[in-house]
Amino acid sequence: MINLTHHAIGILQSPYKEKFAVPRQPGLVPSATAELEMLAPYDDINAFNGLDEFSHLWLVFSFHKNKATDDSWNPTVRPPRLGGNKRVGVFATRSPNRPNSMGLSLVEYHGVIQRDGKLFLSLSNIDLVNGTPILDIKPYIPYADAMPDARAGFAQVSPEINALVVFSDQATSQLKELNSEYPSLKQLIIEVLQQDPRPAYKKAKSDDKVYAMHLSDFNIKWQCSLTSTLVLSIEGA
C-alpha cells in the first residue's frame, strides 16, 4: 500500500460549531458565510493572483470530526436522502465515513481579506463545520464542472425543505436585541432549519423533543411539528 501524507493549507472559520445541523450539501444555506484562514507558507498573497476572476471554488477538505479508522470503515452506508434505512455503497454517496475521510465542497468566493497580519478568503454557501482543515483550493470552471444532464441516482433533485419556520415571542425579542450586531442571523436560522437537521427517520414527523444547535455565537432551541418548525429561544453560547 502506498502511504500518502497530506497537511492543511488553511483552517475554515464557520458558523457551524458542531456537526449537528450542518447542511448535507453546499449551496443549501446561502446565508452561511465563513472565512478560510490560510496557514504559512500558503498565506502568500501571490498564490491568489487571478483568483478574483472566479466566483466559486472547490475546497478539498478533511472530515476531521470523523472517528472512522482503516479498521472501522464500512463498505456500505445509510444516506439520509433514503430515510437512513437503505444501505448503498460508500462510493455511491458523499458520506463522511470514507476510507480517507476526505471531502469536496463547492463554495462561493467573495475575495481575499488581509487582517492583523493574516490572510483570509471570504466564502459563503458553506456546508463545513468550524475548524475544518482545508487541503487544497481549486477554481470552479462551469464548462468542465457543470453537467446539467448528468444522472445523480437518489440525489437527482435538491431535497425538499420544511418551508415554514416561525419564531416564538421570546426568540423574536432576542432577535430584535441582536439585529444591529447580527443582521443576518434570522435568515441563517431559517435556512438551516428549513433543511430539517433532525435524524433522517424523523423527517415528516411531528416531534415533541426540543432540539438545540450551536450556530455562530448562539445556542438555538427549536421544535418541529408536521406543518412548521418553531424556534423557541436564541441564547449566547
Cell of residue 184, nine digits: 443576518
Confidence of residue 133 (pLDDT cuts 50, 70, 90): very high
Residue range 145-149: mean pLDDT, rounded: 89
pLDDT of residue 71: 63
Same fold, 10-145 and 165-236: no
Between strands 76-77 and 56-62, the pairing is unpaired
Confidence of residue 2 (pLDDT cuts 50, 70, 90): confident
Q: Which amino acid is at 233?
A: S
Q: Which position has the higher pLDDT, 66 or 214?
A: 214
Instruction: For cell 482543515, name the residue.
Output: 133
pLDDT of residue 158: 76
Compute the mean pLDDT over every residue in the chain, rounded to the nearest whole number: 90
pLDDT of residue 101: 85
Q: How far apart are CA 145 and CA 11, in angstroms?
A: 25
Look at residue 116 and tell me whether its pLDDT is greater than 70: yes
Look at residue 122 and tell me whether its pLDDT is greater than 60: yes
The per-residue pLDDT for range 55-110, each reduced to its tens digit, is 999 999 998 887 755 566 789 988 887 877 889 999 998 888 888 889 999 999 99
> In terms of C-beta density within 10 A (0-12 exposed, 13-18 middle, 19 or more buried), how is residue 219 classed?
middle
- What is the CATH number assigned to the segment(s) 165-236? 3.30.2310
| Portion of the chain with pLDDT greater than 90, in percent | 61
Q: Domain limits of the chain?
A: 10-145, 165-236
- What is the CATH number assigned to the segment(s) 10-145? 2.40.30.70
Confidence of residue 237 (pLDDT cuts 50, 70, 90): low
pLDDT of residue 70: 56
Residue range 182-203: mean pLDDT, rounded: 89
CA-wise closest residue to 125 among 23, 10, 18: 23
The dihedral over CA atoms of 165, 169, 174, 180, expressed in degrees to the nearest 10, equals 70
pTM over 0.85: yes
Confidence of residue 136 (pLDDT cuts 50, 70, 90): very high
Residue range 184-203: mean pLDDT, rounded: 88
